[in-house]
Structure 1
């Protein structure tokens, strides 16, 4: 990434996490710029990361090798139509917006090389995971550039089919909220069992963190890890049987199917 320039269009939380990750990995501030309509946010970003900030999107993309679109999906069309006349055919465009297809982006931007990706909110603490899809116009070196960018805040995984991004959205894009929901429910149940609220919350959070670390460092899958900690006729088995009797796996499948279906719907709604 030496002498490689990145322009961020939009400087919200996800863009800030990516910029922070790049700066932490040693990328000079001079190689990064961003545009943002809010004066207060422009000032904060310039102060915190030392990068150049612009109010004008067209000014930000001048001379950039990679342009990252980090605006809300609802305004993506207008932003892209505005930028189209200012982009060069050699500039790689990376979109992190949910529900906006590469076909729609190319309609608005022209035939630029595109990478579409779906990061998730743990990127804000450097523990994210992103699914990436590249159009045929993207070169091998540009794929590496996009991967290096997203790897600055976690893990980056390439997909061969753009439609798989709907599944990525369902599993990991929306996934942190599922774990928050479980921690919320476990905390509430712990309080009803007699634990102080703060203790119940800390137990739930640290248990989730520990389980994730075990799964990430294990050579076996989550199902095998679960079996290993579930002693016959023990307390864990009693809880697991209750989950299974309530249709836990089917409920999770239905929930992820709903998230994926909504991702497809958004592509149709926002891509018009």
Structure 2
């Protein structure tokens, strides 16, 4: 039986070019509301994947995202936000996109059709069995991702995937498949819409829960964030004020001296 792509089915809406702006926006919003519910249904699978990622990372493992087009860009985006948000090195969660850096802004012809390239890029990063590879593809059929997952699995590496189609070839190569069925896109086949929104939600869930499990959050605060602008310095200062009851300027001086909220608080408590 041929593999059917739910994500490629015809939109539930017709004659889009004839609709007034308000109706377009309301219809898109109606479709977007289905995404969170689709993600909710697969929380047990997300939990299964995260619970296997955490012990690997505690042993020094890394997390790799692989994708093409929108999927690849979202993986790179999530990975790039880990250092400033949680103060972790950029080598811990790594996003790879078919076609390389140029593909972040421009389509790279045929890049996603290369079955070998994904695994080649992973080997360039000296991937090991402590690492995890998550493939991202709405279609579930991207060769760049499938080839990488297949080889990773052969080498005893934990594999997962995020897709909008059940029973895809990509899922067949994954230890844990996250099959988020959001239905047909508002513009037929435009997976940058609901599929992309769902991918972003799932990536947020994976990386945030992993970082919390690794101790990078205290209470509900980003105590390890990088102090890369005045807004974040102010936020960090107020965290220290709240935690230790110190005057604002003293808290700010401690923060700038130690470089993170956590280090400043630990240093203060250690000096008492």
Task: Kindly indicate which of the two structures has a greater share of residues assigned to strand.
Answer: 1
Task: Kindly indicate which of the two structures has a greater share of residues assigned to helix.
Answer: 1
Q: Which has the higher contact order (CA 8 A, sep 6+)?
A: 2
TM-score (norm 2): 0.34
